Chains A and B, each alone.
Chain A
Amino acid sequence: MIAASAFAQSIEFSPEERARILSHGPWPAVHELDSSNRVDGNPIAIELGRKLFSDHRLSASSKRSCASCHDPKRAFQDGLRSTRHQRNTPTLLDVGQQRWFGWDGATDSLWAASLAPLAAKSELAATPAHIAALLRRDRTLNVAYTALFGEATADAANETILVNIAKTLAAFQATLVSPRTPFDEFRDALAQNDSAAIAKYPSAAQRGLKTFVGEGKCFFCHSGPAFTNGEFADVGRPFFTKSGADPGRWGGLQQLFTSPYNRLGQYADGGAQSAVATKHVIQEPRNFGEFKVPSLRGLLGTAPYFHDGSARRIEDVVQHYSTVDESRLHADGEKIVRALRLTPAQARDLTAFLKSLSGASSRKSK
Chain B
Amino acid sequence: MSKSLKLLLTAATLTALGAAASAQTYGLGREALPEEVAAWDIDIRPDGLGLPEGAGSVLEGEEVYLEVCASCHGGFAEGTGRWPPLAGGFGSLDGEDPFKTIGSYWPYLSTVWDYVHRAMPFGDAQSLSDDEVYAITAFLLYMNDIVLDDEFVLSNENFTEVRLPNEDGFYMDDREESPLWGAREVCMTDCAESVEITMRANILDVTPEDAALREEREAAASDEVVEEAAAEEPAEDPNAIDMELAEAGERLFRQCSSCHQVGDSAQNRTGPVLNGIVGHPAGQVEDFRYSRPMETAGDEGLVWTEDELHAYLEDPRGYLRGTRMAFRGISDEGERAAIIEYLRTQE
Q: Are A and B bound to each other?
A: no
Q: Give the A-binding residues of B (Cβ under 8 A).
A: none
